[in-house]
Amino acid sequence: MHDFLTAALYNFVELPDFAELQAPLLACCEAHGVKGTLLLASEGINGTIAGQSADVHAVLAFLRQDPRLAALTHKEAHAAQMPFYRMKVRLKREIVTLGVPDVHPALMAGQYVKPQDWNQLLADPAVVLVDTRNDYEVSIGTFQGAINPATHSFSELPDWVEREMLDGGKLATVNGQKPKVAMFCTGGIRCEKSTAFLRAKGFDEVYHLEGGILKYLETVPEAQSTWQGECFVFDERVSVGHGLHAGDFTLCRSCRDPLSTQDRASPLYELGVSCAHCHAHTTEQQKEGYRERQRQVDLAAARHQAHIGVRQPGSA
């Protein structure tokens, strides 16, 4: 039974007073028992929250009371368990960090392509398809034929673009013309910034998937899909597939990498402690600390209590 509603949201909009919004927004979320993370910056809002359906919608209504956020849209998913452990409202320089000044997605983003029209765009052999997500996300699923820039953070993407614009690169100018570029990400936010960046670099034909991979997986039937694998998500579901059903991946609690069934069969995998990706990079002292944390998690589960995310006595 699906008892919890998850709402992913973002909106690029001018919020010069964003710091003043932090306290009342956190108070609203906590009053409704909603958990997750929301980021506020002068360029807008971004985040994911979860809770009982009525409570999540109450928080969304609270946000939309601000005329600047009246057009805020969100994507919904359902879960049997609360996917977050606490509520955070954080102040940031950017709601998604690209690290390039004077990139304004609200004014410069590329052309939206609806999920039902995405396959038709990708059928054009002249289109260069770029996955703007990080390497660990791409590793568990992507669109057929997509280029993986192999970045570890979104802020590395501009350097990749600059390199690929050179002669012989995937984004190089040929016969005086820059290529058509299609970009995609999990929910759409990174694409708005990355396509705005490309337009600032002189690319005229730039497209991005409206609503991101999640909207595509929700909208396009699996039989017609060009998506391969699963989609990494930033909550306790770890990954989702077509129809946004929870996938088969779990998360390493040490390095935070997604782990497949095969990864968990590795002799270097220890629940809550290590996996093949990070085993060699942590000390035995660190591993023992992770084991103690996992023992506490297991004890709390045996008592049908939460452990992770519970404020301990005396904590702030």
Cα distance from N-terminal residue to C-terminal residue, the chain: 34
In the 8-state DSSP scheme, what is residue 291? Answer: H
Asked if residues 80 and 245 have their Cβ atoms less than 8 Å apart, the reply is no
Residue of 28, 29, 185, 278 with catalytic role: 185
**Residues facing residue 270 across a β-bridge:** 274
Task: Evaluate whether 241 touches 230 at the Cβ level (below 8 Å).
Answer: yes
CA distance 269 to 258: 12
Whether 249 contacts 235, CB under 8 Å: no
Q: For residues 59 and 28, is the Cβ–Cβ distance under 8 A?
A: yes
Can 275 be counted among the known catalytic residues?
no
Residue 94: CB atoms within 10 A of its CB come to 19
- Residues belonging to the active site: 185
